[in-house]
Amino acid sequence: MRPLTEEETRALFEKLSKYIGENIQLLIERPDGAYCFRLHKDRVYYLSERILKLATNVPRQNLISLGTCFGKFTKTQKFRLHITALDYLAPYAKYKVWVKPSAEQSFLYGNHVLKSGLGRITESTSQYQGVVVYSMADVPLGFGVAAKSTQECRRMDPMAIVVFHQADIGEYIRHEETLT
Amino acid sequence: MGRKLDPARKVKRGPGRKARKQRGAEEELAGFLPPDPDDNVRKLSSHARRRAAKRRIKSVKLQTNKNSRVLQKVQAAKNLLSEGANKKAKLQVGHQAGFSDENASWLTPGKKRARSKEDESAALSDSDGNEGPWESDGEEGSMDGMVDDYGASSSSDEEELLPIEKASRKDKLEGEAFNEDDSEDEEESPPHQQEEDTDKDADLQLNVETDERFVLPSGQEIEKEVAQAPDLQLIHQRIKDNIEVLQDFSTKREEGHSRQEYLSLLRRDLAAYYSYSDFLIGKMMDLFPLSELVDFLESNEVPRPVTLRTNTLKTRRRDLAQALINRGVNLDPLGKWSKTGLVVYDSSVPIGATPEYLAGQYMLQGASSLLPVMALAPQENERILDMCCAPGGKTSYIAQLMKNTGVILANDSNADRLHSVVGNLHRLGVTNTVVSHCDGRQFPKVLGGFDRVLLDAPCSGTGVISKDPTVKTNKDEKDILRCAHLQKELILSAIDSVNAASETGGYIVYCTCSVMVEENEWVVDYALKKRNVRLVPTGLDFGKEGFTRFKERRFHPSLKSTRRFYPHTHNMDGFFVAKLKKFSNAIPKAVKDEESNGEPAVQAEEASSAPAAAEPLPQGRKQVALKAAKKPTAKQGLSAATPTKAKGSPKGDKQKKQASVSRQGSFQKRTRPSKAARPSPGGLKARPTHSKKRKLHRGHQ
């Protein structure tokens, strides 16, 4: 377990800013104590200093997880967000997409969101913008990338993809072993 | 394996109450059932008699033999007979008497009396054997004058006839043929109750007779039985009889046989019927009184209800219940004692894969696993250790009670099972947890100074046989003792990792999903002797008190404050919860005199009166290390046993999901199971009332 290096921090923040923009500030400067990012076995964890203190006592090979896992660095040093980061992305998300109840299931199985399943979308979403996907009952379901801007979405045919799938909460069941 | 799977034991099938209402079914059935004239003559209501007659006409038609054809002719003729002709018939029959419907309708004053008479006469005709059942139709109209006579007649007649009645009754009982008409009539005709009472008396007497007749099978009989495949029906009956005798042994015993003989037979029968190993049945018989034993074994055959815990970090129970009801899940609050639990009766969707589940709004969790956390009562901003945490249900409940403040160290010795812990904690939005993979026995060395420790020790799993029936056969004395030894090591290291000087805490909760005394009271008693701890009330207002004495063992009297939970009394998994308070960080020196059963060894040498708990405790560890060095083989066995925590496989959640998928099809019925399906601690008292449940549902809609 160690703090992130310069490049790692940049990769992480670039990725995060695609979804929550300048709200990253709120993740680091919190009123309820100091929080930090730590790297452990190529995974990035977000945790409070208090937990960090306790975790330093645990031998490194015996440490499995601490705080919340945000994602991992691939072998090529790219950062990949995991679904476990959703708890922190959803409240701060700038661009949101709501899917209809009929399309919920399909998205939770790892499929892209089609125009027919699109319930609502934040105005002024641009193409390839990171978005958080919600159900109509405002339950966060995952996140993805907008395939089309809001304007273009209006005149798409129903079977066209509007949001590319990146992660969904169905992965808690499908990929439990590789989650962290 | 299980009794349920046995193809030989078939439940009797036949038309139920509802089937009766379908026309045609009874006619068909009449074709299958042999006409049984003897049975039906007795206590038939007029309607039933008429129907029976019709039915029989049809069944007789089906028969091809000549006899029946002749009878048919006679009967057809009789049906056509006028009232005048009836009188002739009556002459033939002689002293027979009976009532038609018309008469019965206006002859109310002497009705019951007259009917009973009629039945007796019918019984008489039975004994004659000449009469067909429909013959009684022939006597109608002739009784006008006789009602008063019979009504006023002395009972001597009746008493005379009763033995005959009895005899016919006995015949009926012996004849195996199940009479559908009979049961129909009992439902139909309330005016018959009086006579039914007399029948019941006769029944009771018969029962007593059979009980008295219960004799121990001789050695030869048993040998013969062993050679054959076991007849489960017979064994079941024998178990019942045997228990009845044992409960009133002095009066019902058979001379010349000791209680031991009865008990050994019972033990053998139970082991065969419920397919337990002989060892485990013996243990269970020691543990439960005979009256409870069968209940316990029986409840191990049925699964416990599916329960879930609301994750209050993300939602409220009311909202969750509403969301799930909208998905077609039929649920109720768990009980008064839990503010977050819900019981699922049935569901049209897999309950372990709803979007609500994936969003972390609830956790599938047995009702019993909420209890130790409630006993632990974690406070905000504490340091808490969960020694054996997989699959993370209790850990997340602790985090939920602490509102994600403080720190939890979730530890488990099995790396595979930690995957599910990590998944569950992230899904439920728990952020204050460190997950580690250490051997619990090394604990104060890794980290100490916790405010509270929850030790959900690996155990033999004898409380969760309904979940894992393999326990029935694959556990023996050695396994139990091996578990107990491991548990003793774990409880000592759990106690050592607690800081007694903590302002808010200093508590240890020890729980197992076993019902064995060796793994529960014995372990806690051992800890009381070895460390400066005392038992405190668990804060759970239901459950049975722990044993303070068991067979030859005598435990500390404070073990009364521990709690035991059983499947048959509380409808949750068998469970044991003990809460300990550590009052000094000093470790008492090894006590030589084991028989000092009083206060938990306070003759501790107060060498280091107040060492910081976080510091390693050299003396105790050295002892443990010495012990370990002495018994290397035992250690190896233990480390092998460590991962076999029988509480459920690492993919327990997934299994549940699959189970709920398979349940999907049966939702059409939408019948709400009986109240008994709900875990209800404290019996009737603690059950939420029906009206309350309604209120909850209405509140959501």
Chain B residue with minimal CA distance to A32? B405
User: Boundaries of CATH 3.40.50.150 in chain B?
Assistant: 367-582
Q: Is B171 annotated as ligand-binding? A: no
The packing angle between helices B180-188 and B46-62, to 10°, is: 160
- CB hemisphere CA count around B534 (13 angstroms): 9
Asked which of B35-39, B360-364, B539-543, B585-589 is least confident by mean pLDDT, the reply is B35-39
pLDDT band of B167, cuts 50, 70, 90: low
Contact B447 A48 (CB under 8 A): no
Looking at residue B343, what is its pLDDT? Answer: 94
Contact B356 A58 (CB under 8 A): no
Proportion of chain B above pLDDT 70, given as a percent? 55
Chain-chain contact of B427 with A68 (C-beta, under 8 angstroms)? no
Residues of B in contact with A68 (CB under 8 A): 426, 431
Place of tokens 């349940």: B663
Chain mean pLDDT for chain A: 92
Quick one: average pLDDT of B691-698? Answer: 42
Strand B544-545 and strand B533-536: the pairing is unpaired
Per the annotation, the verdict on B511 as an active-site residue is: no
Per-residue confidence (pLDDT) for residue B630, from 0 to 100: 43
Residue B318: band (very low, low, confident or very high) from pLDDT cuts 50, 70, 90? very high
Per CB-CB distance under 8 Å, the chain A contacts of B353 are: 173
Cβ distance B372 to B577 under 8 Å? yes
Architecture of the domain spanning A95-175: Roll (2.30)
Which pLDDT score, from 0 to 100, does residue B637 have? 39
Q: How far is B590 from chain A (nearest CA, A)?
A: 30
Query: Is the pLDDT confidence value at A164 over 90?
Result: yes
Return the higher-pLDDT residue of B218 and B316: B316
- A6 pLDDT band, cuts 50/70/90, is very high
Mean predicted confidence (pLDDT) in B430-450 = 91
Q: Which among B402, B420, B426, B655 is the top mutation candidate for probing chain A, defined by the most A β-carbons within 10 Å of its own β-carbon?
A: B426
* Closest of B84, B89, B148 to residue B117, by C-alpha: B148
Rounded to whole angstroms, how far apart are CA atoms B155 and B117?
Answer: 10
Q: Count of A–B CB contacts within 8 Å?
A: 97
The CA distance from A86 to the nearest CA of chain B, in Å, is 9
Pick from B20, B35, B11: nearest CA to B185: B20
User: Quick check: B216 pLDDT over 70?
Assistant: yes
When mean pLDDT is compared across A73-77, B243-247, B338-342, the lowest value belongs to: B243-247
CA B132 remoteness from chain centre? 47
The encoded tokens of residue B103 equal 């008469």
Whether residue B229 contacts residue B221, with contact meaning beta carbons closer than 8 Å, is answered with no
ipTM of the shown complex: 0.96
pLDDT at B163 over 90: no
pLDDT band at A8 (very low <50, low <70, confident <90, very high): very high
Is B392 one of the annotated binding-site residues?
yes
CB contact under 8 A, A176 and B423: yes
pLDDT, tens digit, 9 for 90 and up, residues B255-281: 888 888 889 989 999 999 999 999 999
B412 marked as part of a ligand binding site: yes
Who wins on pLDDT, B209 or B581?
B581
The H or E element spanning position B338 is strand B338-347
CB within 8 Å of B436: residues ≥ 6 apart: A58, A62, A63, A64, B409, B410, B411, B446
DSSP bridge partners of B14: none
Topology (CATH level 3) of domain A2-88: Nuclear Transport Factor 2; Chain: A, (3.10.450)
Provide the 8-state DSSP code for B527. H
**Is B355 in contact with A51 (Cβ distance < 8 A)?**
no
Is B459 part of any known ligand binding site? no
State how far the Cα of B329 lies from the Cα of B479, in Å rounded to an integer: 41
- Pairing state of beta strands B563-565 and B575-582? antiparallel
In the three-class reduction of DSSP (H, G, I as helix; E, B as strand; rest coil), residue B336 is classed as coil
CATH 2.30.130.10 intervals, chain A: 95-175
Is B434 in contact with A63 (Cβ distance < 8 A)?
A: yes
Alpha-carbon distance values, B242 to A128, B141, B467, B474 (Å): 77, 53, 29, 27
Q: Which residue has the higher pLDDT, B394 or B128?
A: B394
Of A159 and B593, which is predicted with more confidence?
Answer: A159
Q: Closest partner residue to A62 among B383, B423, B436, by Cβ? A: B436
* B201 annotated as ligand-binding: no
Q: Hey, how many other C-beta atoms are within 10 angstroms of the C-beta on B619? A: 15
Mean pLDDT value across residues B564-587: 92
Q: B641 pLDDT band (50/70/90 cuts)? A: very low
Q: Is the pLDDT of residue B698 over 80?
A: no
Higher pLDDT, residue B514 or B193: B514
Which member of B459, B483, B511, B513 is catalytic?
B513
Chain A residues close to B438, C-beta within 8 Å: 58-59, 62
**Tell me, what's the pLDDT at B551?**
86
The average pLDDT across B168-190 equals 48
Q: Per CATH, the architecture of B305-364 is what? A: 2-Layer Sandwich (3.30)
Nearest CA-CA partner of B471 in B647, B318, B308: B647
Q: Do B437 and A64 touch (CB under 8 A)?
A: yes
State the span(s) of chain B assigned CATH 3.30.70.1170: 305-364
Q: Which residues of B touch A176 (CB under 8 A)?
A: 419-420, 423
Q: In this structure, how many other beta carbons lie within 10 angstroms of the beta carbon of residue B1?
A: 10
Q: Does domain B367-582 have CATH number 3.40.50.150?
A: yes
CATH 3.10.450.220 maps onto chain A at 2-88
Closest in B358, B426, B437 to A68, CB measured: B426
Write down how long chain B is.
701
